[in-house]
């Protein structure tokens, strides 16, 4: 083993993932890893091998070995090992046992976060994210789905429109899922995004000027490979009405999104 990265996670928020089992499931989905549950001295350890992603700049990225140790329902410890030699993976059988002796005792009494949410953001019916009563209040139609060809990112969306014609009125609203993290989508924007939280989910907001009105966009954090995004457009030079629409929608949107993966970056090695 050439080296290792250790990540300690802990959360008591109801909309975050920090326990070992669901972290392993999240990495199986996002990184196409193979997760194997092992018992090491009475502790569950999830061994992930073959983790890879080709979403970032179309570059293949892989990991040698990832071990996620169960602590309790809101905590876990993850060790990512860099392995030398042709037989990469978790073939060094003494490491899990050695690390387990240095972990705190397990505790099953803590209350796990709620699990009655979708597990994959790309399975969300985007045209149903805004309920019919709210659409009528905002003067929006039923929405039409749209799928963009995958160039750098996969992006699915639903586009809602109104018949507004007065300054400050909402003309359109777009809900989308993108296979890029919310912070990465916005970090190089000028001016920089304004970040806020609902529960423990960060939302990055950007307001911009266009030729036909003002645009306000919220980018919801999901994990380091996906985000949910909603954009409102209003007539006139003032972005405040568009942003107020998003403020009103946020409490209803957040519970429809997957749980947030805490410390979402999985240390990976370029091959």
Mean pLDDT over 158-186 rounds to 90
Q: What is the pLDDT of residue 56?
A: 45
Mean pLDDT over 37-55 rounds to 79
Specify the DSSP class assigned to residue 107. B
How many CB atoms neighbour CB 112 within 10 A? 15
Mean pLDDT over 158-181 rounds to 91
103-117, 159-173, 204-218, 244-258: range with lowest mean pLDDT: 103-117
The residue written with tokens 């909603």 in the block is 230
| pLDDT > 60? residue 195 | yes
3-class secondary-structure state, position 42: coil
3-class secondary-structure state, position 240: helix
pTM: 0.80
Residue ranges of the alpha helices (H) in 93-220? Answer: 94-100, 132-138, 182-186
Q: What is the pLDDT of residue 265?
A: 52
Q: What is the pLDDT of residue 114?
A: 63
75-89, 121-135, 166-180: range with lowest mean pLDDT: 75-89
Q: What is the pLDDT of residue 247?
A: 95
In this prediction, residue 180 has a pLDDT band, given cuts at 50, 70 and 90, of confident
Q: What is the pLDDT of residue 101?
A: 81
3-class secondary-structure state, position 178: strand
| pLDDT > 80? residue 64 | no
| pLDDT > 70? residue 266 | no
3-class secondary-structure state, position 227: strand
How many CB atoms neighbour CB 15 within 10 A? 18
In this prediction, residue 253 has a pLDDT band, given cuts at 50, 70 and 90, of very high
Mean pLDDT over 225-234 rounds to 92
């Amino acid at each position: 083993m050439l080296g290792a990265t250790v990540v300690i996670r802990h959360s008591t928020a109801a909309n975050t993932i920090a326990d070992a089992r669901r972290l392993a499931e999240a990495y199986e989905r996002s990184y196409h890893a193979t997760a194997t549950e092992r018992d090491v001295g009475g502790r569950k350890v999830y061994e992930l091998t073959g983790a890879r992603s080709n979403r970032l700049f179309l570059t293949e990225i892989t990991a040698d070995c990832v071990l996620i140790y169960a602590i309790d329902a809101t905590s876990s410890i993850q060790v990512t090992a860099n392995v030398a030699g042709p037989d990469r993976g978790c073939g060094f059988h003494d490491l899990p046992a050695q690390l387990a002796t240095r972990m705190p005792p397990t505790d099953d009494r803590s209350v796990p976060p709620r699990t009655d949410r979708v597990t994959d953001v790309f399975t969300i019916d985007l045209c149903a994210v805004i309920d019919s009563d709210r659409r009528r209040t905002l003067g929006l139609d039923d929405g039409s789905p749209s799928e963009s060809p995958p160039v750098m990112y996969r992006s699915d969306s639903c586009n809602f429109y109104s018949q507004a014609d007065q300054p400050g009125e909402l003309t359109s609203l777009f809900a989308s899922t993108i296979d890029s993290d919310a912070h990465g989508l916005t970090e190089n924007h000028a001016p920089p995004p304004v970040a806020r939280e609902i529960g423990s989910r960060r939302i990055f907001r950007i307001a911009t000027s266009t030729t036909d009105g003002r645009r306000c966009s919220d980018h919801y954090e999901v994990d380091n490979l996906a985000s949910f995004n909603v954009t409102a457009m209003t007539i006139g030079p003032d972005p405040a009405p568009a942003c107020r629409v998003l403020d009103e929608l946020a409490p209803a949107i957040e519970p429809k999104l997957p749980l947030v993966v805490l410390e979402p970056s999985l240390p990976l090695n370029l091959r």
